[in-house]
Amino acid sequence: MQTLSARFPRALFLFLVLLGSFAISLTGCGSKGALTPPVPEGGRPNAGVTRGRQCVGNCGTSAPSALASGVVTETGTVFALNIYGADTPMFVVHSGSPYEIIGVYGSATEPFLAGQEVVVTGTYQRSVTGNQWIDASTVTLANGSPVPSPVPSGNPTPLPTPTGAPTPTPIPTPTGFSAIEHVELVMMENTGYDKVVGNSSSMPYINNVLIPQGKLFTNSYALDHPSLPNYLALYAGSELGTSGTDTCPLSLSGATLGSELSAAGLTFIGYAEDMPGAGSTACTAADGAYQGHHSPWIYFPGQAGFGQPYDGFPGSMPDVAFIVPNDCHNMHDSCGGNNWRNGDTYLSQQLPPIIAWNATHNGLLIVTWDESSYSTLPPNHIATIMVGPMVARGSSSQQINHYDILRTITDAFGLTPLNGASGITP
């Protein structure tokens, strides 16, 4: 197996160190015994895990209990620290076998730096819900010294700017096409570019119908992990201090896309499938498929009223709409099936009437993903697809992120750019 350190340029390590996350790419596996095979990547990478009394991630109201365990010893290269914040010392193991990605927890993770080769010994745990982790008993440097700085090979894919927020470039409207009068932003979940584009077996609608209808941005990136900071970046132009958390409830302040549109006499609706009711501020719903941290407007006092339950195309669209499928339809959870196929099928049912309406109302449909899985390489590389009468079909290698999408929307309606979307550090 080729190690991560042999594949990646120095820029990647710097990027992830500055993000404050920690991961390791395995070069070898110890004895694991007869462990239950893990849930494949794309199942529920943001699901919570429980360590003692501490819950990390989306644990909900009940913590998972261990289903399988065993002592493991792994060797690999550190490439990201403390994904869930400094208060939760951890890193992520990326192996491909016997598990695609797994968290490693323990105070022993703190002294290590990206680029160092380490040996991890600890107890493998797997919960009844499929979450996996290793409780580390020891973490030591392999061979007593860090791995030398990697040498770039070939032409690596450019990565997002690690510090602050780059000055976004609005995605250009080709000359000769109509102006943008409506925008619908459809939010999918936790799937990297390489798992979407070209995966016609699991996502036939996206690859065979949707992408050929519009423009695929091949160099599109999310900004952070987990979900909430990315949704806030798209809605408010800033993560607002939420990096590493999906906290709900939480009260935030500042201008947002919804408030700016409303102040300009324009309309915004945040459609969310299975939202308990119009104007709801709930963080979850009874069925567990609705997640409040996917509805960024509920975090701002006075803006919950923008929210409405979504049950299919309503016949017309506001000036701007966010459309947020539930966790069974946004590729987050499998819900008894294949999460990728479930999401693709949902889009095949929901998008055609929107696209048809847009064709006569100068509407722009944007389909993107909040983030990739933690094992996606390069990190947070996602697909973004735009369809509308003003969009030239094909693909674009323009590097964009969530701030560029927000800037495109605010510019289309003559609004003041928001925070990071104006080049101001959030």
Percent of the chain with pLDDT over 70: 64
Q: What are phi and psi of 371, to 5 degrees?
A: -160, 165
Domain boundaries, the chain: 4-144, 182-422
**In the prediction, which pLDDT does 346 show?**
96
Q: Is the pTM of this model over 0.75?
A: no
Closest alpha carbon to 290 in 301, 281, 299, 302: 281
**In the prediction, which pLDDT does 25 show?**
36
Average pLDDT, the chain: 74
Burial 273-304 (b: 16+ CB within 10 A, else e): bbbbeeebbbbbbeeebbbbbbbbbbbbeebb
Angstrom distance (rounded) from CA 107 to CA 309 = 43
**In the prediction, which pLDDT does 168 show?**
59
pLDDT band at 144 (very low <50, low <70, confident <90, very high): low
**In the prediction, which pLDDT does 139 show?**
80
pLDDT band at 265 (very low <50, low <70, confident <90, very high): very high
Question: Looking at the predicted structure, is the pLDDT value of residue 275 above 70?
Answer: yes
Angstrom distance (rounded) from CA 181 to CA 318 = 9
Angstrom distance (rounded) from CA 201 to CA 340 = 10
Q: Are 186 and 347 in contact (CB under 8 A)?
A: yes
**In the prediction, which pLDDT does 65 show?**
38
Average pLDDT of 110-132?
66
Lowest mean pLDDT among 21-30, 174-183, 315-324: 21-30
Average pLDDT of 117-130?
68
Average pLDDT of 136-141?
81
**In the prediction, which pLDDT does 193 show?**
96
Question: Beta strand pairing status for 363-369 and 381-387?
Answer: antiparallel
For domain 182-422, give the CATH superfamily. Answer: Alkaline Phosphatase, subunit A (3.40.720.10)
**In the prediction, which pLDDT does 398 show?**
92
